[in-house]
């Protein structure tokens, strides 16, 4: 049985249908990268899985339980945590205070302030610094750490490297490798295809609200994934899977 199962999910904003019949699964301990051009529906899909956006149709299941109508705060308690695009930290609070905010709906598990700071060593000397005074990479690390404080079984990460310097991206991903090595299941939106292929077990490509390609994350698949990313699969002779 899949740990996370999305079945024929549709979601949108008024007349705009952003997610169109998407189905995907994640096995326990798997890392899946969700890629696609701007407007492909990636963020809306993550928000729908997390319960922050309602599904118009289809189902979201966690470990066999239908959570489609379960509100977002209860999904956190069941083990689903979202790191949103833009981080959305409390700028007037310190790093440690922001981390502790993530423990409001806490499940049993290994993640606490000390273990998060151990996994994200760049935050250790900054624990008393206000989040509004952090660099982009430091804020992203804090946002991920805050999500981990709930001890999720599924971690959803939206635009991990967006707006970060190459050095900051490397530092964040080095810490994420520690997180997934602990067995955390992760679904991440990543704009850097090479980074996604090097980090994830599997890649799912979306185009105009639909899954147009999915398969193992391996360098040999880059050309096919790039074609699907830009909607050129049919012209390039690439296969599609939904």
Element (H, E) at 226: helix 222-229
Mean pLDDT (the chain, rounded): 92
Q: pLDDT band at 233, cuts 50/70/90?
A: low
Average pLDDT of the residues in 166-189? 95
Contacts of 165 (CB under 8 A, 6+ apart): 136, 137
User: What does the domain layout of the chain look like in residue ranges?
Assistant: 4-90+152-236
3-state helix, strand, coil in the chain (%, to 5): 35, 25, 35
The domain made up of 4-90+152-236 is a member of CATH 3.40.50.300: yes
Helices 166-181 and 136-148, interaxial angle, to 10°? 10
Three-state DSSP class for 196? helix
CA dist., res. 66 & res. 110, Å (int): 26
pTM (two decimals): 0.90
Q: pLDDT band at 237, cuts 50/70/90?
A: very low
Element (H, E) at 159: none
């Amino acid at each position: 049985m899949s740990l996370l199962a999305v079945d024929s999910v549709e979601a949108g904003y008024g007349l705009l249908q952003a997610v169109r019949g998407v189905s995907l699964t994640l096995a326990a301990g798997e890392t899946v990268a969700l890629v696609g051009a701007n407007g492909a529906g990636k963020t809306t899909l993550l928000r729908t899985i997390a319960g922050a956006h309602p599904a118009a149709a289809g189902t979201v299941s966690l470990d066999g339980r239908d959570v489609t109508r379960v509100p977002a705060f209860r999904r956190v308690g069941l083990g689903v945590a979202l790191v949103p695009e833009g981080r959305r930290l409390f700028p007037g609070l310190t790093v440690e205070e922001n981390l502790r905010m993530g423990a409001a709906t806490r499940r049993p598990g290994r993640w606490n302030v000390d273990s998060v700071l151990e996994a994200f060593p760049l935050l250790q000397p900054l624990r008393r610094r206000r989040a509004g005074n952090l660099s982009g990479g430091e804020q992203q690390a804090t946002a991920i750490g805050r999500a981990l404080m709930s001890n999720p079984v599924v971690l959803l990460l939206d635009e991990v490297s967006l707006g970060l310097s190459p050095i900051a991206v490397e530092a964040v991903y080095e810490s994420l490798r520690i997180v997934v090595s602990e067995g955390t299941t992760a679904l991440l939106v990543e704009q850097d295809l090479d980074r996604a292929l090097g980090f994830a077990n599997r890649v799912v490509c979306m185009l105009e609200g639909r899954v147009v390609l999915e398969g193992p994350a391996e360098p040999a698949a880059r050309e096919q994934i790039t074609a699907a990313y830009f909607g050129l699969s049919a012209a390039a002779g690439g296969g599609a899977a939904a």
